[in-house]
């Protein structure tokens, strides 16, 4: 099911939570809404589900304007961060709930419900746990029950609100891979909300980066990591440092000195670069500063560098240095970004 | 080797060393306190009753007046608790779910029956529901006060806060997400309440019922003004006890008390068993 979101606005008692958001979700796509808390990602998901209604704008399911359809009419699968299982029902009763509450005209017979429930349990690899109650299951199992319950109603789209947020790191990684396989097998249009960029980048076909009620960038993992479209995306996704610079005659100047890199656009701006995208140099036209700390990070070593700022608090940047040639604390290093982006001051 | 040597004495040690000390002290205090407050008076009650002997005891029990009084006490308390379960749950729902001007006032009013001297409540209710009272006169010739119905009304008044105050906190804890989950699965409001919310509240509702019922059985002050106290019709067991006491028939009074105690104990036991069952069934609430 294709979902089109047109100029959606949502205000909570005059506080704007979403500001003119538009997004097109293709059928069968796995999309991540990524952003810090308060960015409006969960609000957007709830608007798609019909758990909240927009202040303005429309939501289309295919060609059908669903903006004012109730949550029951929309037939969406929704998975909550804290599972929201019915704790007085067994696993089987939880999964079958959506079928049992249908009006008698469209309700499948009991035997059919039982068959569907057991199929779904097999699909989420929980066969044999029909009779358990939710509090007898682990967090990962509960979330899979919640997913099976959402799938039971044959939803037009599947929405997941921080589905792995309450799980520990190891289970989260397993479930992440499992969800990707599950999606590839069932082909449901899926939207999930997360604040974990690793999760979004690894899992999603496309990542929607959100901040302060707006969409900052939509793109594949490569797009948002390698070609960030805004200062926010650059600093939110991955590690990065930034310095105020000026561009004159296609040369980048920092504190009035050329630093050996060039840029097309002229004017003042902010230079962004990632720790791994630098090279240590001997040349005079480069950035330089004092090493204040050095830490090992898995396969790399990160040096924290303070760049003097003329009596003000020094600029703080982080760069990756070779493992085999550790830099001494307090020593001066000179480096140039090898990949960077200058965002003009707004 | 040293490890087994240090570990073995702990095996037969009676008291496991605990992070929270003072188990012996607090248990001793609890038992002494319970004995003083509950066990000794109850034992005294049984001892006094024993003066009658079995035959005397059974003759009190077989007395129609006693039986009718017990029937009225337990029957009206049961009905009142049922009424309170329905309306107390609705009241708790309104107080937890909606925000309206005066909500806190209503919330405070629920506790009034706790605080009001029961005799005051009884007199107020009696004058309202009496055949010439504001409400009673509307229903004439059907009489409310001075009939068992009047007793039920007094007990509804007395028992309401018990249900509201047990159900309310559990209701506040209900996760909004569970209701939203039911809605996304296609359940309408009615189905959500019936199949998702109420089962979760069952243990709390049962507790509220038990408390309101127990209170109703023992209630005296508010009832005697509105009941009319007609023997065999609207005379409650606690009143009959007082009547026996005034006749200096102490053994007869304690015999009725003992019967009430046994019935109450049995009913609370049954309710507790149902609660334990529903806790297992509906999860720990």
Regarding whether A60 and A135 lie in a shared domain, the answer is: yes
Say yes or no for a CB contact (<8 Å) between A87 and B200.
yes
Residue B54 has what pLDDT? Answer: 86
Instruction: Pick from A97, A103, A150 the residue to mutate for testing the B interface (most B CBs within 10 Å).
Output: A97
**CATH code of A260's domain:** 2.40.50.140
Residue A257 has pLDDT above 70, yes or no: yes
Which of A49, A85, A134 is closest, CB to CB, to B184? A49
Regarding whether A148 and A74 lie in a shared domain, the answer is: yes
Residue A326 has pLDDT above 70, yes or no: no
Regarding whether A15 and A116 lie in a shared domain, the answer is: yes
Residue B214 has pLDDT above 70, yes or no: yes
Which of B180, B186, B200 is closest, CB to CB, to A88? B200
Regarding whether A169 and A27 lie in a shared domain, the answer is: yes
Closest of A91, A89, A81, A71 to residue A155, by C-alpha: A71
pLDDT tens for each residue of A37-83: 889 999 999 999 999 999 999 999 999 999 889 999 999 999 998 99
Residue B7 has what pLDDT? Answer: 46
Residue B181 has what pLDDT? Answer: 94
The last residue of one of the domains, among A178, A206, A235, is A235
Residue B10 has pLDDT above 80, yes or no: no
pLDDT band at B62 (very low <50, low <70, confident <90, very high): confident
Give A181 to chain B, closest Cα distance, Å: 24
Residue A162 has pLDDT above 60, yes or no: yes
Bigger pLDDT: A13 vs A6: A6
Regarding whether A197 and A300 lie in a shared domain, the answer is: no
B194, closest residue in chain A (CA to CA) = A101
Residue B99 has pLDDT above 50, yes or no: yes
Say yes or no for a CB contact (<8 Å) between A75 and B186.
yes
Q: Quote the mean pLDDT of chain B.
A: 87
pLDDT band at B1 (very low <50, low <70, confident <90, very high): very low
Bigger pLDDT: A286 vs B13: A286
The last residue of one of the domains, among A177, A212, A235, is A235
Bigger pLDDT: A206 vs B3: A206
Closest of A119, A147, A345, A172 to residue A245, by C-alpha: A345
Task: State the residue for tokens 């989260």.
Answer: A172
The ipTM of this complex is: 0.83
CA dist B11 to B5, B6, B19, B21, Å? 11, 10, 18, 19
User: What share of chain A has pLDDT > 90, as a percent?
Assistant: 57
Q: Domain span at residue A295?
A: 239-344
Whether residue B141 has a cis bond before it, omega within 30° of 0? yes
Q: What CATH fold (topology level) applies to the domain B38-282?
A: MetI-like fold (1.10.3720)
CA dist., res. A166 & res. A1, Å (int):
29
Dihedral over Cα of A313, A317, A318, A319: its sign: negative
DSSP percent split of chain B into helix, strand, coil, nearest 5: 80, 0, 20
Which of A88, A133, A149 is closest, CB to CB, to B199? A88
In chain A, what residues touch B182 (CB-CB under 8 Å)?
Answer: 86, 97, 101
Residue B280 has pLDDT above 80, yes or no: no
Regarding whether A249 and A180 lie in a shared domain, the answer is: no
pLDDT band at A275 (very low <50, low <70, confident <90, very high): very high
Residue A6 has pLDDT above 90, yes or no: yes
Say yes or no for a CB contact (<8 Å) between A80 and B181.
yes
Restricting to B residues 197-226, those with a Cβ less than 8 Å away from any Cβ of A are 199-200
pLDDT band at B16 (very low <50, low <70, confident <90, very high): low
Dihedral over Cα of B23, B25, B28, B31: its sign: negative
Closest of B151, B154, B161, B174 to residue B234, by C-alpha: B151
Q: Which helix (H) or strand (E) covers residue A318, if one does?
A: strand A312-321
Which of B177, B183, B282 is closest, CB to CB, to A88? B282
| DSSP classification of residue A324 | S
In chain B, what residues touch A82 (CB-CB under 8 Å)?
Answer: 175, 177
Regarding whether A74 and A37 lie in a shared domain, the answer is: yes
Torsion of CA B213, B214, B217, B219, to 10 degrees: -110
Q: At what angle do helices B64-97 and B250-282 cross, to 10 degrees?
A: 40
CA dist., res. B170 & res. B88, Å (int):
13
Q: Is the distance from CB of A145 to CB of A83 less than 8 angstroms?
A: yes
Residue B108 has pLDDT above 60, yes or no: yes
A134, closest residue in chain B (CA to CA) = B283
Mean of pLDDT values over B23-37: 91
Say yes or no for a CB contact (<8 Å) between B186 and A133.
no
CA dist., res. A238 & res. A224, Å (int):
10
Residue B4 has what pLDDT? Answer: 45
In chain A, what residues touch B178 (CB-CB under 8 Å)?
Answer: 84-86
CA dist., res. A336 & res. A271, Å (int):
12
Provide the number of structural domains found in chain A.
2
Say yes or no for a CB contact (<8 Å) between B186 and A51.
no
pLDDT band at B74 (very low <50, low <70, confident <90, very high): very high
Say yes or no for a CB contact (<8 Å) between B184 and A149.
no
A133, closest residue in chain B (CA to CA) = B283
Residue B283 has what pLDDT? Answer: 55
Residue A119 has what pLDDT? Answer: 92
Tally of CB atoms within 10 A around A57? 17
The last residue of one of the domains, among A235, A270, A285, is A235
- Burial of residue A335 (number of CB atoms within 10 Å: 0-12, 13-18, 19+): buried
Q: Is B246's Cβ below 8 Å from some Cβ in A?
A: no
Say yes or no for a CB contact (<8 Å) between A72 and B182.
no
**CATH code of A25's domain:** 3.40.50.300
B175, closest residue in chain A (CA to CA) = A84
Regarding whether A245 and A286 lie in a shared domain, the answer is: yes
Regarding whether A153 and A207 lie in a shared domain, the answer is: yes
Which of B188, B191, B281 is closest, CB to CB, to A88? B281
Residue B285 has pLDDT above 60, yes or no: no
Residue B55 has what pLDDT? Answer: 87
- What's the number of CA atoms in the CB half-sphere (13 Å) around residue B203? 17
| DSSP classification of residue A107 | P
Instruction: Pick from A48, A51, A72 the residue to mutate for testing the B interface (most B CBs within 10 Å).
Output: A72
User: What share of chain B has pLDDT > 90, as a percent?
Assistant: 46
Residue A214 has pLDDT above 80, yes or no: yes
Residue B13 has what pLDDT? Answer: 58
Residue B15 has pLDDT above 80, yes or no: no
Regarding whether A70 and A160 lie in a shared domain, the answer is: yes
Q: Is A82's Cβ below 8 Å from some Cβ in B?
A: yes
- What's the number of CA atoms in the CB half-sphere (13 Å) around residue A163? 35
Q: Quote the mean pLDDT of chain A.
A: 90
Show me where the domains of chain B are located: 38-282
Regarding whether A156 and A50 lie in a shared domain, the answer is: yes
Q: Is B282's Cβ below 8 Å from some Cβ in A?
A: yes
Closest of A99, A119, A118 to residue A109, by C-alpha: A99
Q: What does residue A279 show for φ and ψ, rounded to 5 degrees?
A: -135, 140
Restricting to B residues 124-183, those with a Cβ less than 8 Å away from any Cβ of A are 175, 177-178, 180-183
Dihedral over Cα of B126, B132, B134, B139: its sign: positive
Regarding whether A88 and A29 lie in a shared domain, the answer is: yes
Residue A346 has what pLDDT? Answer: 66
pLDDT tens for each residue of B154-196: 999 999 999 999 999 999 988 889 999 999 999 999 999 999 9
A84, closest residue in chain B (CA to CA) = B178
Give A238 to chain B, closest Cα distance, Å: 32
């Amino acid at each position: 099911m294709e979902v089109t979101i047109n100029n959606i606005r949502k205000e909570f008692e005059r506080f704007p939570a979403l500001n003119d958001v538009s997004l097109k979700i293709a059928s069968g796509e796995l999309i991540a809404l990524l952003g810090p808390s308060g960015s409006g990602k969960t609000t957007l998901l709830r608007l798609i589900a019909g758990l909240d209604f927009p202040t303005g704008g429309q939501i289309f399911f295919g060609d059908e304007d669903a903006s004012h359809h109730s949550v029951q009419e929309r037939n969406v699968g929704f998975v909550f961060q804290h599972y929201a299982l019915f704790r007085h029902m067994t696993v089987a009763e939880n999964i079958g709930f959506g079928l049992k509450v249908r009006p008698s005209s469209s309700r499948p017979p009991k035997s059919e419900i039982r068959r569907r429930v057991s199929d779904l349990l097999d699909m989420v690899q929980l066969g044999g746990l029909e009779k358990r109650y939710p509090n007898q299951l682990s967090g990962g199992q509960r979330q899979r029950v919640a997913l099976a319950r959402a799938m039971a109603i044959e939803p037009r789209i599947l929405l997941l609100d921080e589905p792995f947020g309450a799980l520990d790191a190891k289970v989260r990684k397993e479930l992440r891979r499992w969800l990707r396989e599950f999606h590839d097998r069932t082909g449901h249009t899926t939207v999930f909300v997360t604040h974990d960029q690793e999760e979004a980048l690894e899992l999603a076909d496309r990542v929607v980066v959100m901040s302060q009620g707006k969409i900052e960038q939509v793109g594949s993992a490569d797009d948002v990591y390698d070609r960030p479209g805004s200062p926010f995306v650059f600093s939110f996704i991955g590690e990065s440092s930034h310095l105020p610079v000026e561009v004159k005659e296609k040369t980048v100047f920092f504190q009035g000195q050329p630093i050996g890199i060039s840029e097309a656009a002229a004017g003042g701006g902010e230079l962004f670069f990632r720790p791994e995208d630098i090279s240590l140099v001997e040349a005079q036209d480069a950035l330089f500063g004092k090493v204040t700390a050095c830490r090992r990070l898995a396969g790399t070593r990160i040096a924290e560098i303070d760049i003097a700022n003329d009596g003000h608090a020094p600029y703080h940047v982080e760069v990756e240095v070779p493992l085999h040639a550790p830099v001494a604390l307090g020593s001066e290093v000179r480096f140039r970004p090898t990949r960077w982006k200058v965002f003009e001051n707004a | 080797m040293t490890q087994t040597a240090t570990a073995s004495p702990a095996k037969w040690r009676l008291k496991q060393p605990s992070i929270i000390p003072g188990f012996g002290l607090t248990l001793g205090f609890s038992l002494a306190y319970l004995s003083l407050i509950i066990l000794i008076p109850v034992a005294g009650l049984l001892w006094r009753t024993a003066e009658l002997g079995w035959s005397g005891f059974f003759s009190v029990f077989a007395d129609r007046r006693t039986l009718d009084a017990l029937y009225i006490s337990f029957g009206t308390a049961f009905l009142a608790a049922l009424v309170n379960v329905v309306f107390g749950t609705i009241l708790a729902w309104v107080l937890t779910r909606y925000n309206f001007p005066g909500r806190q006032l209503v919330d405070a009013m629920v506790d009034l029956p706790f605080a009001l001297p029961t005799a005051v409540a009884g007199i107020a209710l009696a004058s309202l529901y009496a055949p010439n009272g504001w409400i009673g006169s509307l229903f004439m010739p059907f009489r409310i006060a001075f009939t068992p119905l009047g007793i039920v009304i007094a007990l509804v008044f007395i028992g309401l806060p018990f249900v509201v105050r047990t159900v309310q906190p559990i209701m506040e804890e209900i996760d909004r997400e569970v209701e939203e989950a039911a809605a996304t699965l296609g359940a309408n409001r009615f189905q959500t309440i019936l199949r998702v919310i109420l089962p979760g509240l069952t243990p709390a509702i049962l507790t509220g019922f038990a408390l309101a019922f127990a209170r109703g059985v023992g209630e005296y002050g508010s009832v005697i003004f509105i009941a009319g106290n007609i023997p065999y019709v609207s005379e409650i067991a606690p009143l009959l006890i007082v009547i026996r006491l005034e006749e200096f028939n102490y053994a007869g009074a304690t015999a009725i008390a003992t019967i009430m105690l046994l019935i109450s104990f049995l009913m609370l036991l049954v309710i507790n068993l149902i609660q334990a069952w529903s806790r297992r069934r509906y999860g720990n609430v």
